[in-house]
Structure 1
Amino acid sequence: MKVLRIQKAQATRDGAGVNISRIAGFDGKSLDPYLMIDELKSDDSQDFMAGFPAHPHRGIETFTYIRKGGFEHRDQMGNVKAIRSGDVQWMSTGRGVIHSEMPLADAVDGMHGFQIWLNMPAKDKMRPPRYQDSSQTGVATITTDAQVTLRALAGDWLIDGHSVSSALQGLAGNGAIADVILPANSSATLDVSQHQKVLVYIHTGKLSEPEYGELYLLDVEPKAPLSLIAGSQGAGVLVLAGQPIGEKIAHMGPFVMNTQEELQQAVRDYHAGRFGDIV
């Protein structure tokens, strides 16, 4: 793989004091069509039990993936779902969503998960919100001859000549997300040629070529096959792919629009109660 740019996640806090590692791209260029990658990884319940009380969004899509532990999701659309280990959840917030994400009681043994934000194109930012999760369909998974496992979290994937498709399609920017788990010293090749942006985030272990470990995000050349080679510890990576939207971004907290006036309108609409209330 040819690495074009390298970033390392930075420690921060969000929600009611949840400790996370974050890579942000609110310039609308560096991660496009993605805006932010948050990783929550801790065995200490004090790092995450305060959770994410009710808060609004407009103009983005949120994608949640849980590897360990779980959250209860609630929103003004009436969705009340337990998102547990192995589950994914997607909200295309459009003109407005209010939701909360609070740790499940059995998450006291630790938590490992991601929330990823995708930008929405201007033409879709004020459409009605949409919701989908994997609680009924599960997550499509394939294991190669080398015992490399790919979990197709969203979109379509081709690994070592084998294809697998997620039940979750239609993310903004044709977003596709996979969790690839490589045993020690194993390798796999993904065909990502249909995408214009490909990002590799290392969440477990290390890659050996190039040699990077946890918390690093690699922006890679999409025209070449994506060769993943694990080090002696093995490796786990999220692969995020898609088509850049290429539009101007105006960002304020949970709102991402195209102009400052649209941001101010989002704030007014929220305070006027136009986003609704969690049922």
Structure 2
Amino acid sequence: MSLRPTLETRQAIPTMEGAGVKLHRAFGFQDPSELDPFLLFDDFRNEHPQDYLKGFPWHPHRGIETITYVLSGTVEHGDSLGNTGTLGAGDVQWMTAGSGIMHQEMPHGNARGQMHGFQLWGNLPSAQKMTAPRYQDVTAADIPEVIDDDGTRVKIVVGTFWGKTGPVDGIAADPQYLDVHVPAGVRKTFRIDTYRRAFAYVFEGSAAFAAASDPSGILLEKEVAGQEMNIRDLSGDRTLVRFGTGDEVTLQAGPEGVRFLLISGAPIDEPVAWHGPIVMNTQEELIQAMRDLRNGTFIKPAH
């Protein structure tokens, strides 16, 4: 076994998207090779309805997949194919935009006005850029959860982990998407396929992630007197942790425990031509997509 080193930890950056939704972006619109096959990750979390209710009105996508995971509140969605629906707390939508789709997403808060969810963009390989659009809507009840003896809980959105397989399938990047909670002070190791790019996104509590060069040096240590925690290099709320190569990730949860997404996928390793919500392989393909938008041929007829 080889421990994946922590290449970088960084805070998600406040930004605004859609018609004025305030959110935090962990990565996106920079170096697409950094976390290939993933392009962008947003954390939309707010307690003030005026900061999210204008939502994400009609906009196009081509050449990518979008993964929306709702923790609290709801997201109403509709698209150019006539699909409509509502994602509730714990629900997931995996949309393959493929050859092109127009859609909108309108968030609403819970009874206390709170809204929280994530959106991840996954790239499509050139052979699937122009595939027919499709959706996979998954309810919270259909997402398996495994609980280990030490209290660690893992929800498996995509992929197979600890003998359970998530309900989303047929995804180009063959990803693993896990929602992990590790109790306070527990040290835990998670296996990740060596050939995948991987990152963690901490959104509750904190944890120390071990480095390959010193797998125990950055972890929590209990003092003999008072059994209090000393913490070095602790990753807290809204922190992206980017890992290098290896086949396992080790961490130790902070004094309040930690909840994070652990996401990995097989790199596509192809050229990227990217403009907003459209991601192709060449500038010519990107220009054609813009031309299709202008002349009304962006949405392709079903075969």
Q: Return the TM-score normalized by structure 1.
A: 0.92
d(CA) in 2 for partners of 1:163 and 1:194? 19
Residue identity over aligned pairs, in percent, reads 37
**Aligned residue type for 1:4:** L
* Aligned with residue 250 of structure 2, among 218, 223, 227: 227
Q: Does 1:21 align with 2:44?
A: no
* Aligned with residue 69 of structure 2, among 56, 65, 69: 65
The CA deviation string for residues 225-267 of structure 1, in whole angstroms up to 9 with x for no partner, is 2223210011111111011111111111110111111111111
Secondary structure of the equivalent of 2:19?
Answer: coil
Aligned in 2, Cα 1:51/1:98: closer, same or farther, shift over 3 Å? same
d(CA) in 2 for partners of 1:32 and 1:177? 15
Q: Does 1:168 align with 2:171?
A: no
List gaps (5 residues or longer) in structure 2.
209-218, 220-232
Look up the match of 2:120: 116
Look up the match of 2:160: 156
Contact kept, 8 Å, 1:173 with 1:242, in 2: the verdict is: yes
List gaps (5 residues or longer) in structure 1.
none
Which of 1 and 2 has greater Rg? 2
CA displacement at 1:137 relative to structure 2 = 6.3
Contact kept, 8 Å, 2:20 with 2:51, in 1: the verdict is: yes
**Aligned residue type for 1:236:** R
Look up the match of 1:217: 240
Look up the match of 1:50: 54
**Aligned residue type for 1:224:** D
The CA deviation string for residues 76-125 of structure 1, in whole angstroms up to 9 with x for no partner, is 22221110110110011111011110123647621111000011111110
Q: Does 1:12 align with 2:35?
A: no
* Aligned with residue 36 of structure 1, among 29, 40, 55: 40
Aligned residues: 273
Which range moves more in the overlay, 244-253 or 106-115? 106-115
Contact kept, 8 Å, 1:148 with 1:187, in 2: the verdict is: no
Contact kept, 8 Å, 1:195 with 1:241, in 2: the verdict is: no
CA displacement at 1:6 relative to structure 2 = 2.7
d(CA) in 2 for partners of 1:192 and 1:136? 24
Aligned in 2, Cα 1:25/1:225: closer, same or farther, shift over 3 Å? farther
Look up the match of 1:96: 100
d(CA) in 2 for partners of 1:255 and 1:47? 25
d(CA) in 2 for partners of 1:136 and 1:86? 4
CA displacement at 1:211 relative to structure 2 = 1.4
Secondary structure of the equivalent of 2:149?
Answer: coil
